[in-house]
Amino acid sequence: MDDQACPRCKTTKYRNPSLKLMVNICGHALCESCVDLLFLKGSGSCPDCNVPLRRSNFRVQLFEDSMVEKEMDIRKRVLKDFNKKEEDFATLREYNDYLEEIEVIIYNLVNNIDVVGTNKRIEQYKKDNKELIMKNKAKIGREEIELEEILENEKQMEEFRRQEIAKMEDEAKKQKIREKEALIDELMFADGDAKDILNTFAQTVANKQEEVVPLLPKVTQFSSGVKFTRGSSQALPIIEEGPLYKYEPLEIPDRCGPDPPSLEEIMKNGFLHHVRAENETEKAGGYTSTLPCLRALQDALSGLYHAS
Amino acid sequence: MFSTSSQRKFWTFNDESELARHREKHNLEFISKHGHHIDEYQRYNFFLSPDEERLLLKQYELHLKEFCKRFAPPMPKGVVGTAFHYFKRFYLYNSSMDYHPKEILATCVYLACKVEEFNVSIGQFVANIKGDREKASDIILNNELLLMQQLNYHLTIHNPFRPVEGFLIDIKTRCSTLANPERLRGGIDEFLEKVFLTDACLLYAPSQIALAAVLHAASKEQENLDSYVTDMLFRDAGSDKLAILIEAVRKIRSMVKMVESPARERVRIIEKKLDRCRNEENNPDSEIYKRRMRELLDEDDMPHSGSNRMSLDTSGISQVLSPSIFN
């Protein structure tokens, strides 16, 4: 590790213990300060091979051999598209051929053999298997979520068990202290034989141990099976449920006049013959001639009884 | 609905004497506030009396009617009715010496246009006013908030126009004895136009006014709708309610019959008197007003050029009105 050095500024691990080498997709390393310097604007080209790079794609170099890093990058990229599963093939042979093909592609890209042709091959594959790729991507996403859920579940169970044990221990300790005190009290104040008292106490202790109350498991899902939380630790707000809503018809204020006809009466009794009928456009907008008719009649009758 | 409205609760009064009391009160208030330097006898000559104010406002109501009639684009009836309501309500609690009716008139119409959803911009609006339009628009916009405040923000007006439509629909449907009710329209419109020159809309429900208009128009056409009122409208109501309505209709009709335009000569004298006794603080042409406006502007920390708009010159809104008394 001592000879690890930035190829650009020649700083070594020895001279700068906090030296961090970063790699990008081309596999050439740069130290963190050089990255900061060269990629001030977010993008630039690799000083070794002149490949255009983005700053956001830099990551810490994990392996000493930068070729491994490069391969990891390429593999990640290729596998994003070559995401078929064994189930997608009829025979094992075909699946193996497919895996072989992937390895060939990756090898070619890593060692710069026929890069153009290989990239064409990838493009071709992408075009041919567009739907399958999408489907498998979604499937992988789902599987990841499921996995996460299982992990979460296990974590919860673990937590629950731990709590249970702690609680039991605590309870037992308290119980012991209490019994001891009771026994001493009894021995101090009772008139009976001390041996008898000791015997009865030993009896009750034995009985009690049997009736340890099992703890209720913590509820972690709704009755529908949906988890309270998924990933995030946010608690759901508790909604207080009041009494059920009961419909009460609106109170009609005193009209101070004769009662106007209802909507049904307006339609039945021929009031509509004397108002302009709505046209098709207005009907589409939800307008009917009954409403203005009703309003005019209501306005006419409201307030007729008004007395100063 | 009128029965639950602010119009009924706050702006429908018991009788004419109550209206007169309000007006007189604010007339006296103005005089005692601004007339402390003038002795009793002179006061009478200097300030307007309640009667003179009444006459002046009547004249301006006529102007209001004319202004609305000539307004371009043509105004729906509801706007006119609402403007009349605002005008009457405003001067119930304010003296015309405090705020000049010609300014309030234009503001009332402008506000009514807005409330009744008759969309005209201020530019379009003042195009209907002769004289200095920029000054007019300043006056209107300055007074708009004052007007709303004086109306206590009770801006919804129940006009008698929709009730009239309701009655006509009802008559056509339920009262087949009357042939061709549409011919009543001329009479109704004429009646309603005159109704707004009276205080009826401050005393009665819009439906009562509408019914009075319909009955008046029917009697003009030598028709009788009494049976419609007694047998249809008031079939289920007690005779006491019918009596109240009959009295209301009779009163409204007699009020309309009494409408007459005030004598031109008298109004001219009153106008001259008003020019001398009006509250200069609210006169956009006065020095006090200009100074106050400037102070307000300075307070607002606005650029000084703004005050130019406020220092209004003399000839503004006096031309709002139909030329009848100004030429």
Question: What pLDDT was estimated at residue A38?
Answer: 85
Question: What pLDDT was estimated at residue B84?
Answer: 95
Minimum-distance CB partner of A306 among B169, B170, B205? B205
Could you report the per-residue pLDDT of B46-71, keeping only the tens digit for each? Answer: 888 888 899 999 999 999 999 999 99
Of the listed ranges A269-278, B135-144, B197-206, B297-306, the least confidently predicted one is B297-306
Could you report the per-residue pLDDT of A202-252, keeping only the tens digit for each? Answer: 887 777 666 655 555 556 666 666 665 554 445 667 777 788 888 998 888
Question: What pLDDT was estimated at residue A224?
Answer: 67
Nearest CA in chain A to B231: A258
Q: Which residues of A are less than 8 Å from B233 in CB distance?
A: 258, 301, 304
Question: What pLDDT was estimated at residue A225?
Answer: 64
Minimum-distance CB partner of A303 among B14, B164, B205? B205
Q: How far is the C-alpha of B147 from the C-alpha of B140, rounded, in Å?
A: 10
Q: How far is CA B261 from CA A231, B62, B108, B256, in A?
A: 83, 8, 21, 12
The mean of the pLDDT values for chain B is 85
How many CB pairs (< 8 A) connect A and B? 105
Name the β-bridge partners of A5. A12
DSSP A90-135: SSHHHHHHHHHHHHHHHHHHHTTSSHHHHHHHHHHHHHHTHHHHHH
Q: How far is the C-alpha of B6 from the C-alpha of A226, rounded, in Å?
A: 54
Could you report the per-residue pLDDT of A38-63, keeping only the tens digit for each? Answer: 888 888 888 888 888 888 888 888 78
Per DSSP bridges, beta strands A59-60 and A21-23 are antiparallel
User: Token pair for residue A8?
Assistant: 């650009």
Q: Nearest CA to CA, how far is A274 from chain B (Å)?
A: 6
User: What mean pLDDT comes out for the span A70-90?
Assistant: 83
Nearest CA in chain A to B232: A258
Question: What pLDDT was estimated at residue A227?
Answer: 62
Q: Say yes or no: B8 contacts chain A, CB-CB below 8 A.
A: yes
Minimum-distance CB partner of A304 among B1, B13, B233? B233
Could you report the per-residue pLDDT of B136-190, keeping only the tens digit for each? Answer: 999 999 999 999 999 999 999 999 999 999 999 999 888 888 888 888 999 999 9
User: Token pair for residue A213?
Assistant: 């109350």
Cα dihedral: B5, B10, B11, B14 (round 10): 110
Of the listed ranges A168-182, B23-37, B94-108, B187-201, the least confidently predicted one is B23-37
Q: Are A90 and A122 in contact (CB under 8 A)?
A: no
Question: What pLDDT was estimated at residue B290?
Answer: 79
Question: What pLDDT was estimated at residue A259?
Answer: 86
pTM recorded for the entire structure: 0.59
Q: Give the mutation candidate from B19, B156, B165, B182 for the A interface (greatest A CB count, under 10 A).
A: B165
Could you report the per-residue pLDDT of B274-317, keeping only the tens digit for each? Answer: 888 888 777 777 777 778 777 877 776 554 444 444 444 444 44
More confident residue, B36 or B210: B210
3-state secondary structure (DSSP) of residue A40: coil
Question: What pLDDT was estimated at residue B44?
Answer: 78
Kindly provide the ipTM of the predicted complex, given to two decimals: 0.82
Buried b (16+ CB within 10 A) or exposed e, B276-298: ebbbeebbbeeeebbeebeeebe
Task: Classify the phi-psi angles of B188: left when phi > 0, otherwise alpha if psi is within -120 to 50, otherwise beta.
Answer: alpha
Q: Which residues of A are less than 8 Å from B173 in CB distance?
A: 269-271, 273-274
Could you report the per-residue pLDDT of A119-130, keeping only the tens digit for each? Answer: 888 888 888 888
Q: Is the pLDDT of residue B95 over 60?
A: yes
Question: What pLDDT was estimated at residue B261?
Answer: 83
Compute how many other C-beta atoms are within 10 angstroms of the C-beta atom of residue B308: 8
Minimum-distance CB partner of B3 among A270, A274, A302? A302
Q: How far is the C-alpha of B10 from the C-alpha of B85, rounded, in Å?
A: 13
Q: Which residues of B are less than 8 Å from A270 in CB distance?
A: 173
